A and B are shown apart, each in its own frame.
Chain A
Amino acid sequence: MSTRIAYTLYSLARMIREDRYFAAGFITILVVIILSAAASIISPYDPYKIDLINKLRGPSPEHPMGTDQLGRDLFTRILYGGRYTLFLSASAVLLALVIGLLVGTLSGYYKGWLDLIVQRFVDILMSFPSIILAIALATMLGYGLETLVIAVAIAESPFLIRVVRAAVISIRDLPYIEAVRLMGYGDLYVILRHVIPNIMYVVIPQVTLQMGSAILIIAALGFLGIGIKPPTPEWGSMLNEARAYLMDYPHLLIFPGLMIFLSIVSFNIVGESLKMRLDPKARSLIGSRSRLVWGLYRGGRRGLDERNTSY
Chain B
Amino acid sequence: MTPQPRKESIVVLDNVYKYFPAIETIFGRSKAYIRAVDGVSLDIYEGEILGLVGESGSGKTTVARIVAGLLKPDSGRVLYRGFDIYSGKIPKHIRRKIQMIYQDPEVSLDPRYTVKQTIEEALRAAGRSTNETKDLVRSLGLSEDVLEKIPQQLSGGQKQRVAIARALAMRPDLLIADEPTSALDVSTRTQILNILLELNKSFGITIMIITHDLGVAAYMSDRIAVMYLGKIVEVGAAEEIIKEPRHPYTMALISSSPSASRLSKVNIKPIGEIASQINIPKGCRFHPRCPFAMEICRREEPPYFDVGDGHVSACWLHGGAPKT
A175 CB contact (under 8 Å) in B95, B108, B112: B108
Known contacts A183-B122, A184-B96, A184-B125; decide if A178 and B112 are in contact (CB<8 Å).
no
A180 within 8 A of B: yes
Q: Are B100 and A179 in contact (CB under 8 A)?
A: yes
Q: Are A185 and B125 in contact (CB under 8 A)?
A: yes
Q: In the complex, what distance in Å separates the CA atom of A197 from the CA atom of B110?
A: 10
B126 within 8 A of A: yes
A10 within 8 A of B: no
Chain B count of residues within 8 A CB distance of the other chain: 27
Taking the closest CB of chain A, its distance from the CB of B120, in whole angstroms, is 12
B170 contacts which chain A residues (CB < 8 A)? 182-183
Q: Is the interface of A mostly helix, strand, loop or mixed?
A: helix
Known contacts A116-B26, A175-B104; decide if A182 and B68 are in contact (CB<8 Å).
yes
Taking the closest CB of chain B, its distance from the CB of A114, in whole angstroms, is 14
Interface residues on A, range: 10 to 19
B125 contacts which chain A residues (CB < 8 A)? 183-185
Q: Are A182 and B107 in contact (CB under 8 A)?
A: no
B121 CB contact (under 8 Å) in A116, A177, A178, A180: A180
B111 contacts which chain A residues (CB < 8 A)? 176, 198
A247 within 8 A of B: no
A184 CB contact (under 8 Å) in B70, B92, B103: B92
User: Which residues of A190-205 are within 8 A (CB) of B?
Assistant: 194, 197-198
Q: In the complex, what distance in Å separates the CA atom of A174 from the CA atom of B111?
A: 11
Taking the closest CB of chain B, its distance from the CB of A151, in whole angstroms, is 30
Residue of B nearest to A116 (CB): B26
Taking the closest CB of chain B, its distance from the CB of A194, in whole angstroms, is 6
Residue of A nearest to B125 (CB): A183
Q: In the complex, what distance in Å separates the CA atom of A185 from the CA atom of B68?
A: 15
User: Which residues of A160-177 are within 8 A (CB) of B?
Assistant: 174-177
Taking the closest CB of chain B, its distance from the CB of A37, in whole angstroms, is 32
Residue of B nearest to A120 (CB): B26
Residue of B nearest to A181 (CB): B70
A176 contacts which chain B residues (CB < 8 A)? 107-111
A182 contacts which chain B residues (CB < 8 A)? 68-70, 96, 98-100, 170
Known contacts A182-B70, A184-B95; decide if A175 and B102 are in contact (CB<8 Å).
yes
B166 within 8 A of A: yes
Known contacts A175-B104, A179-B166, A182-B70; decide if A198 and B110 are in contact (CB<8 Å).
yes
If A183-B125, A184-B95 are given as contacts, then 15 extra A-B residue pairs at C-beta distance below 8 Å, sorted by A number, are: A116-B26, A174-B107, A175-B100, A175-B104, A175-B108, A176-B108, A176-B109, A177-B110, A178-B100, A179-B108, A181-B70, A182-B170, A183-B96, A183-B126, A185-B125
7 inter-chain pairs at a CB distance below 8 angstroms, sorted by A residue, are A176-B107, A176-B110, A178-B70, A179-B102, A179-B167, A182-B98, A183-B170
